[in-house]
Amino acid sequence: MLKKIFTWWDGATIGTSLFSKLNGTRIGEDGLGNVYFEGGKATDGRPRRWVIYSGPNDASRVPAEWHGWLHHTTDLTPDQMPAPRSWQKPAEPNLTGTGAAYRPSGALERGGVRAAATGDYEAWSPN
């Protein structure tokens, strides 16, 4: 309970959840469990839009179609948009810091074996 009151980096606080229920209209949810709201007016007169993350607050966890809706690029929600093209991949959060992150050859996590130097490097010296 205390975590929900004081921590903002691991999901919405009680205040944000309460504000969303009282002042927002639930618009939809994406495949990652993030919930999208709209309510009130921003200073430019457009409707205010926001997301409540399921899990850590990380903007890379917002799929492109919802990103467009959040930033008023489109007023269509993903369920109102045409079906995705066959070549489009599903959205994926940023995997940095996880076990699924990209690790090039020579990375410590992959054994740390780097290719031998080719001898074409010459250190700079200020003569």
For the chain, what is the mean pLDDT? 83
Would you state the pLDDT for residue 111?
A: 80
Could you tell me which of 47, 11, 14 has the C-alpha nearest to residue 32? 11
Would you state the pLDDT for residue 97?
A: 85
Q: Which residue has the tokens 């489109």?
A: 74
Would you state the pLDDT for residue 118?
A: 77
**Three-class DSSP category at 66:** helix
Lowest mean pLDDT among 9-13, 26-30, 108-112: 9-13
In the chain, the largest separation of any two C-alpha atoms, in whole Å, equals 70
Could you tell me which of 38, 34, 32, 28 has the C-alpha nearest to residue 12? 34
pLDDT beyond 70 at 117? yes
Lowest mean pLDDT among 43-47, 55-59, 113-117: 113-117
Would you state the pLDDT for residue 6?
A: 61
